[in-house]
Amino acid sequence: MYTKFGIDLSQVPFSRAFSYMAVSKLPENWQGYGNSEGIFLKNISGSAKDPLIAKIIFGSESVQKDKIKHVCMENSVLLLEYANIKYELVFADKETILIRADGASAEMTLDFMTESGPYDYIYELKNNGINCFMANCYKNNCSYVMWAQKGSVFLEQKWEEQSSLYSKINVSGKDGFLFVIKEVAHEWDRICQVYDFDMCAGETEKEFLDFADKYPKLPDEYSKTALLAAYVNWSAYIHKRGFLTRNAMLMSKNHMCSVWSWDNCFNALALSYFNAEAAWEQYMIIFDVQDASGRIPDSINDSNIIWNYCKPPIHGWTLKKMMLNMDISKEQLEEVLEKLEKHTLWWMTYRDFDKNGLYEYCHGNDSGWDNSTVFAAEPPIESPDLQAFLVIQMETLGDICYKLGMKKKGEEWHKNSKELLERFIENSFCDNMPVAYQSSTRKIVKNESLLPYLCLILGERLPYDYRIKMIEQLKAKGFLTQYGFATENPASTEYRSDGYWRGPIWAPSTVLLLDGLVECGEYELAKTAAERFLKMAKKSGFAENYDALTGEGLRDRAYSWTASSFFILAKEYL
């Protein structure tokens, strides 16, 4: 069995599970790094001052822009064609890329762009008769050793004082070449392993297919889309190191190269159907860096932890769903009880500034809906979704306590949940509709955002009249477009087609809202919206978000929580 599907390197990076390297086609001056347009080898570690390792030039740079073809992914091999020469790239392992070319005129240049930073250069060393080249990439906080297993290599470099003005590796061969690039984190063991390209491809393919096979099975019309979704997620993994105590599924290897502390929940949930071990790993990874107060960070990668913001407490809701999909051991329940309890107490202790028993976000970023119109007023903002998440989180804590035989503590958490629900219903609705308050003034924040509607996840816990009114408004106001639920009412004066949380359709808001609709008995409406989202993903790939009126993918175009939500929606509604 083998895979074959199209891949656009300008949208989906070529990488593999657990690697810190990726290959992408980038526009000129990508992310302000001053590069020319082309195909680049990148380092996605958070420690890199500059993620661009080298520009990969196949054949002649002067004409390759119009001639290079991105053919497809086949058998975990990236196939490219230039001037009738086939170039193939495969990850032999997480630290090694093999590049193979056939044909007498095959040539390739790696431009390490040493002019973009100090102390970067390449030095040559012989190893058992093999000419090897070590690229010391200070800007990437790493080194890369290279050699030709087949073909010849020529170093083109100009040294000046402490670094090179330019450093280029030129590769060619009379009947093609096989070139090896290996990441060296600290020191190279001086072993030039002999690689069998096809064997490496087969082993990598098997690893990918084993991973893909543990996602829900989809109807035939979505089979290729499902393969791409699995590839986006599999290739987004990096191996544990630094602050990461577990292997981590990043949000992307484009430019969102971290784990955010609610994004991981959707990745865990998608894995929980048939890959329990990986699901638990992704769910717990953010709790590994929980501080003494119970707070969990905004985001984490191997080299950085961001504490300036947090993310919404959907962890109880997620765990409740995961417990329906997978067996969780007593030891795991004990582990998560301590972490989730501390997390909930942090919200109760540190995010009720006016001491009214309802909780606030200090910034839109804390909600995950960074610039939503709910945050048009100065924070803190007492938002309906936050109260709903915490009601369910407290309830989930009570359920875990009961499972562990801790009846008294379970009753306390259920009591906390019911009391918060009562305060929420009494204080956070106006004319049967949920409202957000500016905490210090108690003024209602006028908005046309979808965010307040997420409290529908409470389902029958909400009064019947409230549920009916909210669902009627959802239908009447035009939030549901032909592609799914817009995050800002398209009729709003604040709606923007590429306005981040002021219009575009997002995967997490879709999963949460549809779950709320089902909880309220609106399965058919949820199914309709799910089908629209799935068709949009089939057409536009797994973007960070989508234009609500055209379905076009926006921002980061290979986003793992979108691919995970694709599997969740397909499993629950198809």
CB atoms within 10 A of CB 209: 18
Q: What is the Cα–Cα distance from 258 to 236, expressed in whole angstroms?
A: 10
Regarding whether 365 and 221 lie in a shared domain, the answer is yes
Check whether residue 400 and residue 356 sit in a common domain.
yes
User: What per-residue confidence (pLDDT) applies to 67?
Assistant: 60
* 111 bridge partner residues: 55, 168
Residues 152 and 234 grouped into a single domain:
no
Domain boundary pick from 177, 203, 229 = 203
Rounded to an integer, the average pLDDT of 349-369 is 97
Q: How confident is the model at residue 1 (pLDDT cuts 50, 70, 90)?
A: very low
The pLDDT score that the predictor gives to residue 129 is 86
Establish whether the linkage from the previous residue to 380 is cis, with ω within 30° of 0: yes
The two beta strands, 107-111 and 21-26, are unpaired
- Structural domain includes residue 33: yes
In terms of pLDDT, which residue wins out, 74 or 41?
41
Residue 209 in any domain: the answer is: no
178 lies in the same domain as 220 = no
Assess whether pLDDT exceeds 70 at residue 561: yes
Output the average pLDDT for the chain: 94
Is it the case that residue 270 has pLDDT exceeding 60?
Answer: yes
- pLDDT at position 72 is 66
pTM above 0.85, yes or no: yes
Q: Which of 247, 108, 252 is nearest to 181 (CA)?
A: 108
Average pLDDT of the segment spanning 29-42:
93
For the stretch 137-149, pLDDT in tens is 998 899 999 999 9
Query: Using alpha carbons only, how large is the chain's radius of gyration in Å?
Result: 26
More confident residue, 543 or 81: 543
Per DSSP, helices labelled H in 142-255 are 197-212, 223-235
- The CATH code of the domain that includes 33 is 2.70.98
DSSP class of 561: H
pLDDT per residue over 409-465, tens digit each? 999 999 999 999 999 999 999 999 999 999 999 999 999 999 999 999 999 999 999
Residue 208 lies in a domain: no
Higher local confidence (pLDDT), 1 or 381 = 381
Asked if 95 and 151 sit in the same domain, the reply is yes
In a domain, 19, yes or no: yes
- Same domain? 313 vs 196: no
- Judgement on whether residues 227 and 81 belong to the same structural domain of the protein: no
The sheet carrying 305-306 orders its strands as 259-260, 299-300, 305-306
Cβ atoms of 376 and 433 within 8 Å: the answer is no
pLDDT band at 185 (very low <50, low <70, confident <90, very high): confident
Shared domain check, 272 and 227 = yes
- Averaged over 332-354, what is the pLDDT? 97
Structural domains counted in the chain: 2
- Choose the final residue of a domain: 203, 236, 262: 203
Q: Is residue 277 part of a domain?
A: yes
Pairwise pLDDT comparison (81 vs 510), residue with the higher score: 510
Write down which residue in 181, 203, 225 finishes a domain.
203
411 and 521 part of one domain:
yes
Q: For residue 209, is pLDDT > 70?
A: yes
Percentage of the residues of the chain whose pLDDT score is greater than 90: 87
Q: CB of 460 within 8 A of CB of 519? A: yes
Q: Are residues 460 and 429 in the same domain?
A: yes
**Domain hosting residue 69, numbered range:** 4-203
Residues sharing a CB contact under 8 Å with residue 62, sequence separation 6 or more, in sequence order? none
Does the residue 524 lie in any domain? Answer: yes
Domain of 503, CATH number, reads 1.50.10.10
Coil/strand/helix, residue 528: helix
Based on the fold, state whether residues 257 and 284 are members of the same structural domain: yes
DSSP result, 240-299? --TT-SS-EE-S-SSS--SEETTHHHHHHHHHTTT-HHHHHHHHHTTGGG--TTS---SE
Q: Are residues 346 and 447 in the same domain?
A: yes
Q: Which residues have a Cβ under 8 Å from the Cβ of 352 and sit 6 or more positions away?
A: 358, 359, 360
